[in-house]
Amino acid sequence: MIKLLFADSRPIIREGIKFVFSGDLDIRVMAAVDTGAAVLQKLRLAQPDVVMLDPDLPGMDGFRCARIIRKEYPAVKVMVFTEYNDLATLRRANYAGVRGYLLKQTSIKALKAAIKQVYQGERVFDQNMDPKTLAAVKKPVKKKVPPARPGIFSPRELQVVELLSEGLTNQAISLKLGITQSTVETFRARIMAKSKKKNVAELIRWAVAAGVIR
């Protein structure tokens, strides 16, 4: 039986996943948690076969969590379960090394089949995804998304963008770069003003799509 660890910040999604697999003979949900930190805590206690993550986890996003899992628990297969059907998010998933990319609009039958395929070592993408998006993820990023101008960010601002994409907090960024939290906040304010984005999630999706960061 495949042991599945699932993470999503929304209780209704977690309960739905547990219900879907409650009577399944091939897949068992060993835990359904709400944060990336909780995922790593569960992994320290018992290893699942497959971890399925929502990218928008609080504190540590799903992609940073995926990178940690791939590094520290290489035998564990990681997949993403998301509502985002766009190139930028798919590129981030690809960079994080996930083996499956499933949309939340997928059918239960397709979801179960995908988990089994990922467990067997295959790479799976949702059949509802745009073929052009899937093809483009393997191509070099085209820097045509405005306002991705050369030099839009200073070297230090670019470092902060990279660390934000990894899900680090202001405190963690300040410790990593050796600067104060107030300085990090100043950099963040400048970054948001230059990119004209409303929040970090929008910023990262734009930065990846525009080739500002990987």
Can you give the pLDDT at residue 150?
46
Query: Would 2-136 and 155-210 be classified into the same CATH topology?
Result: no
Can you give the pLDDT at residue 164?
87
State whether CATH 3.50.50.60 applies to domain 2-136: no
Give 199's Cβ-side CA count (13 Å radius): 3
Can you give the pLDDT at residue 110?
95
Domain ranges for the chain? 2-136, 155-210
* Token representation of residue 119: 């467990």
Can you give the pLDDT at residue 203?
87
Q: What is the distance between the alpha carbons of residues 78 and 90, in angstroms, rounded to a whole number?
A: 14
Q: What is the distance between the alpha carbons of residues 41 and 208, in angstroms, rounded to a whole number?
A: 29
Largest CA distance in the chain: 55
Can you give the pLDDT at residue 151?
61
Would you tell me which CATH number, out of the four given (2.40.10.10, 3.30.70.100, 1.10.10.10, 3.40.50.2000), belongs to the domain 155-210? 1.10.10.10
Residue 69: phi and psi, rounded to 5, are -60, -45
Tens of pLDDT along the chain (214 residues) come to 999 999 999 999 999 999 999 999 999 999 999 999 999 999 999 999 999 999 999 888 899 899 899 889 999 999 999 999 888 888 888 888 899 999 999 999 999 999 999 999 999 999 888 888 788 765 544 444 444 444 688 888 888 988 888 778 888 898 888 899 999 999 999 999 988 888 888 888 888 877 777 6
The strand ranges marked E within the chain are 2-7, 27-33, 50-53, 77-82, 100-103, 124-125
Answer for the pair 48, 3: CB distance below 8 angstroms, yes or no: yes
Is pTM beyond 0.85 here? no
Integer angstrom CA distances of residue 138 from 90, 93, 131: 10, 12, 12
For residue 136, give the nearest of 75, 67, 208 by alpha carbon.
208
